[in-house]
Chains A and B, each alone.
Chain A
């Protein structure tokens, strides 16, 4: 049954591309809308029985089955649904040409197919295949406008992603050699029983290096600022909000938790990479003038928090990391939606040329402020809770240095986001912007929705603890 989340977008694309005329252009938007809202509501409302159902009419065709086996996959599937919904609405609103919008929706459905597959797969080689689907669709999404910046960003992402793919494939080959089969269960039993061999260590290092490249962590983050800032607005939302997290961070968490043997060296490397990413991302974001570039460096920093929390190896750290992954998908997409609104109204991304936009674009300004505060970890918003859990997990595990660095980096995060808010939204209205109006409804709806989710999770967190956080602990 859950494999429908992969099959339906695929069949949708095939049907949409039949030569049936102009009606397909309109049908595309409604199909994608139904799919994204359907995915988010299925995760929120369907019971456990639906998701763990490996049988069903498709089971006899797909023995290597897809199912969301635990809460980690469910959280990621929910995030995929929500961010894709936001990207769809923004794309529909911003892309004027109907044919280009149609192309965008097709690519969005392809990316959803890939990401849903990544979240539900239980086999190393199938994981690689779905990673490639997501990667190919994101290359094309970045280069959609065929302008010079977009092509350059897409090319940088392509090259580094190809390197990551080669590393991961070599590691999968070696793990296949060790295990005889590529499913998670087989490789896990083979690795836990295998003798301490240098080749296996090299394979694990190669895999983690490949995943760090995909996730955009330091020192492999070179592609990230260019790809995020030069992609067209709806593609940036998708890329920053969910693609990097699914292909890099979720895959890393799934493999380290389910496949690789527990290893304190690996945890130390992850914590170190996370901390360096936090610092490099935060410090580089301080001096940016381009709106989306600052958001890109901020993404590097926040993904560092996720990996830092995950690297502790404890249940609390894992719960904090998963929660922060979801929160980051929400507020980063929110910020990119606002960036899209501002770019469309003012025509540029240069923050120094802007000022006082909140007078003309109140909704955008307010939602942007909420997202900035949530990222910086200010109570009672959602980001506060997830960062608190991560820092608590670090403290309890005895990593006092990392905890202090994480807290100090929160202060830097607050600093650059306040600078962003001041330069763009507060203060006097800059010259030449008197004609500005609020962004159109298709940009406001995702902004308001994501803000409501951020505020809702933050304020109602004590009620969520029992239903969401504690079950995540039970996975480990």
Chain B
């Protein structure tokens, strides 16, 4: 019972920080909101008994992704601080309704019969995490490295200053 209440509080905190990340006015605060949401998710995963997933979540999402976001934001220059806030205010004028829609969907889903009506196979907790990551899933790690490579490539290409003047 106590565990359930704690999970509910954490879920609510995660929802709150995610909504704040979407609705706040500057991009930098949005990136911080994302980091906050993933930190709460880390605690949740840890409580649910998945410590390795929690570690990955914290280091990748709250760490690496926030760093990438903040560096990308620093590479782009807004028109001016005041104009950026004006534009955001324009965009967010009617979006106060979005959290309400979210709550309505949540309430509606409470009445849909989503029951776990099949037997789950036993969780393979005996599998050593290291062997799963580095042996069974080696191809996926190669794929992930390729995606990061592609992403870095993209950032370099899309943000390269035109060097025509210097030629």
Residue contact A110 to B157, C-beta cutoff 8 Å: no
Binds B, one of A33-41, A133-141, A392-400: A133-141
Name the one of B118, B120, B143 contacting A130, with C-beta atoms under 8 angstroms. B143
Contact of B146 with A113 in the complex, beta carbons under 8 Å: yes
Stretch at the interface among A197-205, A405-413, A436-444: A197-205
Contact of B139 among A126, A178, A180, A195 (CB under 8 A): A126
Verify if B129 is at the interface (C-beta below 8 Å from A). no
Measured CB to CB, the closest approach of chain B to A115, in angstroms, equals 12
Q: Which of A64, A133, A143 contacts B150 (CB 8 A)?
A: A133
Question: By the criterion of a CB under 8 Å from any partner CB, how many residues of chain B are at the interface?
Answer: 28
> Complex Cα distance A75/B115, Å?
42
Residues in B whose Cβ lies below 8 Å from that of A83: none
- Which B residues are CB-close (under 8 A) to A195? 117-118
Chain A residues, CB < 8 A from B124 = 180
* Contact (Cβ within 8 A) A146 B137: no
A178 & B154 in contact (Cβ 8 Å cutoff):
no
CB distance from A179 to the nearest CB of B (A): 7
23 CB < 8 A contacts A-B: A10-B146, A13-B149, A62-B139, A62-B142, A63-B136, A63-B138, A65-B139, A106-B153, A117-B143, A123-B139, A125-B140, A129-B139, A129-B140, A129-B147, A132-B143, A136-B150, A140-B150, A140-B154, A140-B158, A143-B158, A180-B124, A190-B121, A195-B117
Chain A residues within CB distance 8 Å of chain B: 10, 13, 61-66, 103, 106-107, 110, 113-114, 117, 123, 125-126, 129-130, 132-133, 136-137, 139-140, 143-144, 146, 177-180, 190, 194-195, 197-200
List chain B residues, Cβ under 8 A from A63.
Answer: 135-136, 138
Q: B121 and A133: CB pair below 8 A?
A: no
Interface flags for B74-95 (1: CB within 8 Å of A; 0: not) read 0000000000000000000000
Q: Is B72 an interface residue (CB 8 A)?
A: no
Whether A199 contacts B116 by the Cβ 8 Å rule is yes
- Contact A198–B113 (Cβ < 8 Å): yes
B158, A177: Cβ atoms under 8 Å? no
Partner of A137, one of B122, B142, B150: B150
A180: chain B residues within 8 A (beta carbon): 121-122, 124
Q: Which 8 A-B pairs have the closest CB atoms?
A: A129-B143, A180-B121, A140-B154, A136-B150, A197-B118, A64-B139, A197-B117, A62-B139
B interface: dominant SS: helix
Q: Which of B116, B138, B139, B157 contacts A103 (CB 8 A)?
A: B157
B151 within 8 A of A: yes
Cα–Cα, bound, A63→B142 (Å) = 13
CB distance from A186 to the nearest CB of B (A): 10
CA distance A103 to B158 in the complex (A): 11
A144 adjacent to B157 (CB under 8 Å)? yes
Contacts of B138 in A (CB 8 A): 61-64
Chain B residues, CB < 8 A from A178: 118, 120-121
Return chain A residues, CB-CB under 8 Å to B146. Answer: 10, 110, 113-114, 133
Q: Known: A107-B153, A129-B144, A179-B121. Is A198-B139 also a contact (CB below 8 A)? A: no
Q: Are A199 and B118 in contact (CB under 8 A)?
A: yes
Q: Which positions 109-129 of chain B face chain A at CB distance < 8 Å?
A: 113-118, 120-122, 124
Chain B residue numbers with a CB within 8 Å of A106 are 153
Closest to B121 in A: A180
Measured in the bound complex, the distance between the Cα atoms of B153 and A10 in whole Å is 13
Given contacts A66-B139, A107-B153, 17 further A-B contacts (CB under 8 A): A10-B146, A61-B138, A62-B139, A62-B142, A64-B137, A64-B138, A64-B140, A126-B139, A129-B139, A129-B140, A130-B143, A136-B150, A136-B151, A140-B154, A195-B117, A198-B115, A198-B117
How close is B137's CB to chain A, nearest CB, in angstroms?
A: 7
Instruction: Please indicate the chain B residues that have their CB under 8 angstroms from the CB of A198 in the complex.
Output: 113-115, 117
- B163 → chain A closest CB, angstroms: 9
CB contact between A110 and one of B114, B121, B150 (< 8 Å): that residue: B150
In the complex, which residues of chain A have a beta carbon less than 8 angstroms from the beta carbon of B113? Answer: 198
